[in-house]
Structure 1
Amino acid sequence: MRRWLAAAAATTVVLLAAAGCTTTHGTDGDLTGGWAMIGAPTPFRPATKVCHESLQADSSLATYRPVPCTDLHVAETFHVADAPDAPVPPTPGSAQSREAYAQCAQRAEAFLGGPWRGARIAVQVLWPSRAGWRGGAHWFRCDLTETGLDGLAATGRSGSLAGALRGPSPLRLGCFDARVNGDSVTAMTPVACTQPHRTEFVGLWTAPEISYAALSADRTRTARGCRSAIARYTGVPDDDEVQYRAGWISYRPSRTEWQLGERRVRCFLWFRNRTLDRSMQGAGPTVLPVH
């Protein structure tokens, strides 16, 4: 449209010159007609309180297809913040990416109304594409997704997650029917704690600043952390005898979460041969004797 207007104006000048005229009746010679100048283009910035049908690697305008959160979706944008100027978007593991994740993680708790690390929730940070960044789009986007315990499988849902953890919620981790094959957990099916079960979420252990490979390889470190979580949750002494009271299952952060600075490990007590029909919170040594 802008090019059409410019062409029309140029045609008018040619006609006036051909007629030998210097003025026209009823005009002031201003070919713009008093129109305001077109401003500089504004870089794309995503909206909050919208949802998305799929998870994305970045938040480029070309792939931006938000939907109402009442529709079926897998991710929800709850916060968008300014990012510091840099030649390119921050890379995974950089100080800037970790700072952005920390901000998203903190704001997620306020948005959800409760601690999200103890729920089937994952936080995702998205940056503009490189082309968008070069064009001045310096921001990051915070998304939430309902996910599995390992943070790898997104679950479709309808409805916003705003306030989803403000009270009792099926998203909170509780009791489970765990299926274990050797050292591998093949299934963790949520059940009410009053129903027969052998597994219960007991809390979080914060892993140290080590490599992801080292965390994955050293079960002894994780065992100590989760046994301490079991002791705190059940009200038994935090000593070497915890291992003879109950077994443990853990879910560490995904590799992507680890690069962003996430250090929480989700810990569960587990019984191979004992079936429970109540929560073990505060149960004490009598209910959890040493075997």
Structure 2
Amino acid sequence: MTGVRSGPAMLLTLLVVALLAACAAPAGTDGDLVDGWPMLPAASYAPPRPGECLTGGTFSAFEQPDRAAPAPVDCAQPHLVEVVWAGPMPDAAAAPAWDSDATRAAYAACDAAATAYVGGDWHGGRLLPYLSIPGAAAWRGGVRTAVCGLAEAADDLFAPLARTGSLRDGLKDPRPLALDCVDLQGGDVSPEGFYRSVDAVTPVPCADPHDTEFVGVWTAPAGPFPADAQALNATVSKACFTAVAAFLGLTETQLYNRKDVYTFWDGLTVAQWRLGDRAAHCFLNVSTNNPLHRSLRGLGTAPLPAS
């Protein structure tokens, strides 16, 4: 007589059959839970393109913006930045530091693109650079693009201005974005009418009252940022003194003997230097007691024009 044995194996077989029966598709269905559902698109990032304008946010020149570039807007609408270049950054395990060779290479490309975009050295315009590199979260998401732009300087050369219209060719004739005359604001004015400390450098038309005029850019030699502030000031002042003399059509001795025209400069911050930008703005400066109403280019030994 043949018997049927029951035990753990038989119980397991019965359990599996029961589970399969329970999971069978209900009548009228095909059991495909994702039938007709589109797949989610892969994550992507479309960087702004040269010629596009960006609105919103604020930034400080030569420093990483607090947030990534906002969405583009029509340049006819108010905006802060106009994109002049967007390019790849080398892949790495982590996002590049602001003070890194990768960021300096991106800034060098940005600098060259900005000059080409406006038709002249952008340092000679009422312009501020904008550079944004991917942050840690964006980098982990696969973003490897640096974005470079320019902004028009506001009432202070160190702050951006919301504007409409394009900056393209702004330093080609008639050079509508050229940096020419400025008026200083500061404190602690000497009896002769010169500021001992300057708080703001405001671009103005040369026909408007002003005490200062841009004469050119001087670029410091490569090397570490000077630790001695007094030595840096002496070096840049000497270079700008030479530029002021040439602008006026004087020898340096003749300029030294004038007591009504002085040298003023700005730029060369630590943040700027770390990016590889070592440009200083050179200005001539006169007393606030005798404001100017025209350019002094080629003045020579003639007296200052009467205010």
Instruction: Report the TM-score range of the alignment, normalised by the length of the smaller protein.
Output: 0.7 to 0.9
Identity of aligned residues (%): 34
TM-score by length of 2: 0.72
In structure 2, what is the equivalent of residue 27 of structure 1? none
Tell me, in whole angstroms, the C-alpha distance in 2 between the residues paired with 1:121 and 1:149: 12
- Do the aligned residues in 2 keep the contact of 1:149 with 1:251 (CA within 8 Å)? no
Q: Secondary structure at the match of 2:72?
A: coil
In structure 1, what is the equivalent of residue 113 of structure 2? 107
In structure 2, what is the equivalent of residue 202 of structure 1? 215
Q: Secondary structure at the match of 1:202?
A: strand
Q: Which runs of 5+ in 1 are unaligned?
A: 1-12, 25-29
Distance 1:177 1:96, change over 3 A: same
Distance 1:82 1:194, change over 3 A: same
TM superposition shift of 1:14: 4.0
TM superposition shift of 1:251: 1.1
- Do the aligned residues in 1 keep the contact of 2:126 with 2:203 (CA within 8 Å)? no
- Do the aligned residues in 2 keep the contact of 1:207 with 1:263 (CA within 8 Å)? yes
In structure 2, what is the equivalent of residue 15 of structure 1? 25
Letter of the 2:198 partner, please give it. V
The answer to which of 269-278 and 126-135 deviates more is 269-278
- Of 241, 257, 268, 2:283 maps to 268
Tell me, in whole angstroms, the C-alpha distance in 2 between the residues paired with 1:152 and 1:188: 8
TM-score by length of 1: 0.76
Alignment of 1:1-291 (within 5 A): 14-15=24-25, 41-48=42-49, 49-55=52-58, 57=65, 60=68, 64-148=70-154, 152-179=158-185, 181=189, 182-208=195-221, 209-211=223-225, 213-215=227-229, 218-237=232-251, 239-245=252-258, 246-272=261-287, 274-286=290-302
TM superposition shift of 1:127: 1.2
Letter of the 1:244 partner, please give it. N
Equivalent pairs counted in the alignment come to 264
1:205-231, Cα deviation, whole Å (9 max, x unpaired): 112334265357642112101101112
Letter of the 1:247 partner, please give it. Y
Letter of the 1:225 partner, please give it. A
TM superposition shift of 1:266: 0.5
TM superposition shift of 1:188: 3.8
Letter of the 2:56 partner, please give it. E
Distance 1:136 1:186, change over 3 A: closer
Letter of the 2:122 partner, please give it. W
- Do the aligned residues in 1 keep the contact of 2:157 with 2:201 (CA within 8 Å)? no
Letter of the 1:220 partner, please give it. A
Letter of the 1:271 partner, please give it. V
TM superposition shift of 1:281: 1.8
Q: Which runs of 5+ in 2 are unaligned?
A: 1-22, 60-64, 190-194
Q: Secondary structure at the match of 1:172?
A: coil
User: Which of 1 and 2 has greater Rg?
Assistant: 2
Q: RMSD of the alignment, in Å?
A: 3.4
Distance 1:252 1:215, change over 3 A: farther
1:117-153, Cα deviation, whole Å (9 max, x unpaired): 0112111211122122122211111121122587532
- Do the aligned residues in 2 keep the contact of 1:203 with 1:268 (CA within 8 Å)? yes
TM superposition shift of 1:100: 0.7
In structure 2, what is the equivalent of residue 8 of structure 1? none
- Do the aligned residues in 1 keep the contact of 2:207 with 2:294 (CA within 8 Å)? yes
Tell me, in whole angstroms, the C-alpha distance in 2 between the residues paired with 1:283 and 1:271: 13
1:125-182, Cα deviation, whole Å (9 max, x unpaired): 1112212212221111112112258753221112222222223345311123334534
